[in-house]
Amino acid sequence: MSERAKGMNLTLKVWRQNGPQDKGRMVTYRVEDVSPDMSFLEMLDVLNERLILEGDDPIAFDHDCREGICGMCGMVINGVAHGEQVATTTCQLHMRHFEDNAVITIEPWRAAPFPVVKDLVVDRSAFDRIIQAGGFISVPAGSAPDAHSVPVKKVDADAAFDAATCIGCGACVAACPNGSASLFTAAKITHLSLLPQGQPERDSRAKAMVEQMDAEGFGGCTNTGECTAVCPKGIPLDTIARMNRDYLRASK
Amino acid sequence: MAVTGAILVLFLVGHMTGNLKAFFGADSFNEYASFLRTMGEPLLPGRVALTIVEVVLGVAIILHMWSAISLARRAGKARPVRYAARRKAQASGYAVHTMRYGGVVILLFVIYHLLDLTFGTVNPAGWDGTPYERLVASFAPERWWVTAFYVVAVLMVGLHLRHGLWSAFQTLGLASGRSYRPLKLTAAGVSAVLVLGFLTVPVAVMIGVIK
């Protein structure tokens, strides 16, 4: 057997909460021999395997594709949503970005509209309700139209696609000092309001989605830019300007 | 926030320009002060135009504070449980973190400033002095702490506008990806000019250039 490089030793401080009603607390774990090539979630998998063998409850966290495109994973690592690596989801964050013997604090997204389900899992249904309020276009169902039947300017198509890359992970809310969901809502509004198919419902969409966002209890935007700085997809801040523009137009 | 802020910024530009009259001597400064009271004559009776400006500014300040308080309250409700790890700011910019406490400092300063130079209540030259006498008395070297408070407050105004100016365009939906750079540069430039303009007069009184 070939000699393997010695792994990293880490101290984790993890938020543990048995259920929505539980008060919750930080629990310290020691994880040894962590490969720098592991993803952050794989490192937690290793810890969870050990916890299960020891008869403990494994740490609950959301994950699905582990390719950075589904939007399920997300935790606040050392005070930064998805960790300090720029434009990276938690599942795509690798342990080589951490120092050996590092102390890592892991917390769930903190926002009243995102109640903790268990440990690091939060309920993001509030985002679904914002989408239901207007994040769609009403079209007659039937066979798919030809892709080139409605021409779209290249710049608009590109900007709409950029906004459409939002995976709805909720990091923007977690990072915002106001707990605002403006970047998420603005990405969805921008995506549709830049395309010809989104025009008929442009005003009613902006109004309904912004009002739903406020009704869910998210905070207001004060243009701090924290959201776009942590966004794994780099959704730009000008989507929020577009949302404000559409909302003001709809309120006239 | 954006609309009321814009009104207050326009006022600051006028106020700063007016202050510089102090460099043209006591007569120029006092004449300007009495012009403010008779502004609009003979179309409007004395002090009517000034009263309108005062009411607009007062309402703007109250609505600006109301917006700030409701935003802060909503923010508190949206995050009832705080992060255990110190939240690191990922976005660039220092000014944005001074907005709330800076606003409180500015409010306290405005109250003192009115009692000092408008009503003369806490001014050595008092209500009877001319505006120029009140100015010179207020920033006299032995009252260095008044000048210090003034400097801190003006720097806070500068930081407030550094974030507030471009932020207003963003809130009103007038900003776009390409305009962020020019908007932020303009915000920094206007803030710097206002801070320098406001600081020259008390500093000049302090070192005896204006006496």
- Tell me which H or E stretch contains A121: strand A121-122
Report the pLDDT value the prediction gives residue A23, as an integer from 0 to 100: 96
- Three-state secondary structure readout of chain B: CHHHHHHHHHHHHHHHHHHHHHHHCHHHHHHHHHHHHHCCCCCCCCCHHHHHHHHHHHHHHHHHHHHHHHHHHHHHHHCCCCCCCCCCCCCCCCHHHHHHHHHHHHHHHHHHHHHHHHCCCCCCCCCCCCHHHHHHHHCCHHHHHHHHHHHHHHHHHHHHHHHHHHHHHHHCCCCCHHHHHHHHHHHHHHHHHHHHHHHHHHHHHHCCCCC
Q: Higher-confidence residue: A212 or B89?
A: A212
* B59: in domain: yes
**To the nearest whole angstrom, how far is the Cα of A55 from the nearest Cα of chain B?**
27
Query: In the block, which residue shows the tokens 């921008």?
Result: A190
Report the pLDDT value the prediction gives residue B127, as an integer from 0 to 100: 84
* B70: in domain: yes
pLDDT tens string A134-169? 999 998 788 888 888 889 999 999 999 999 999 999
Report the pLDDT value the prediction gives residue A141, as an integer from 0 to 100: 81
* B62: in domain: yes
* 76-95 of A, contacting B, C-beta below 8 A: 76, 78-80, 84
Report the pLDDT value the prediction gives residue A5, as an integer from 0 to 100: 63
Residues with pLDDT less than 70, chain B: none
Report the pLDDT value the prediction gives residue A1, as an integer from 0 to 100: 46
Q: By CA distance, what is B175's nearest residue in A?
A: A241
Report the pLDDT value the prediction gives residue B172, as an integer from 0 to 100: 96
Q: By CA distance, what is B97's nearest residue in A?
A: A224
CB A84 within 8 A of CB A78: yes
CB A212 within 8 A of CB A128: no
pLDDT tens string B86-141? 777 888 789 999 999 999 999 999 999 999 999 999 999 988 889 999 999 999 99
pLDDT tens string A63-87? 999 999 999 999 999 999 999 999 9
Report the pLDDT value the prediction gives residue A4, as an integer from 0 to 100: 58
Q: Mean of the pLDDT values across residues A109-123?
A: 98
**To the nearest whole angstrom, how far is the Cα of A236 from the nearest Cα of chain B?**
8
Domain CATH number, residue B30? 1.20.1300.10
**A-chain residues within 8 Å CB-CB of B80?**
112
Q: Could you give the CA distance from residue B184 to residue A223 in angstroms, rounded to a whole number?
A: 12
Give the residue extent of every domain in chain A: 8-107, 124-138+151-251
Distances (CA, A) of A217 to A74, A112, A114, A171, B79: 21, 7, 10, 16, 10
Q: Could you give the CA distance from residue A120 to residue A113 in angstroms, rounded to a whole number?
A: 15
**Count of domains for chain B:** 1
In the predicted model, what is the mean pLDDT of chain A?
95
Reading the block at residue A179, the tokens are 């707990």
Q: Above 70 in pLDDT, residue A3?
A: no
Residues 6+ away with beta carbon under 8 Å from A46: A31, A34, A38
- For domain A8-107, the question of CATH label 3.10.20.30 is answered with yes
Report the pLDDT value the prediction gives residue B46, as an integer from 0 to 100: 85
Q: Mean of the pLDDT values across residues A182-189?
A: 98
Q: Do A79 and B88 touch (CB under 8 A)?
A: yes
Q: Higher-confidence residue: A2 or A105?
A: A105
Report the pLDDT value the prediction gives residue A19, as an integer from 0 to 100: 97
Cα diameter, chain A: 73
The burial of A74, by beta-carbon neighbours within 10 Å (0-12 exposed, 13-18 middle, 19 or more buried), is given as: buried
What domain range includes position B121?
2-81+92-206
**B-chain residues within 8 Å CB-CB of A109?**
none
* B87: in domain: no
Q: Do B74 and A219 touch (CB under 8 A)?
A: yes
Report the pLDDT value the prediction gives residue A102, as an integer from 0 to 100: 96
A124-138+151-251, what's its fold? Answer: Fumarate Reductase Iron-sulfur Protein; Chain B, domain 2 (1.10.1060)
**To the nearest whole angstrom, how far is the Cα of A231 from the nearest Cα of chain B?**
11
Report the pLDDT value the prediction gives residue B86, as an integer from 0 to 100: 79
Q: Above 70 in pLDDT, residue A2?
A: no
Q: Do B171 and A244 touch (CB under 8 A)?
A: yes
Quickly list H helices, chain A: 40-53, 125-134, 154-164, 171-175, 182-193, 202-215, 226-230, 238-251
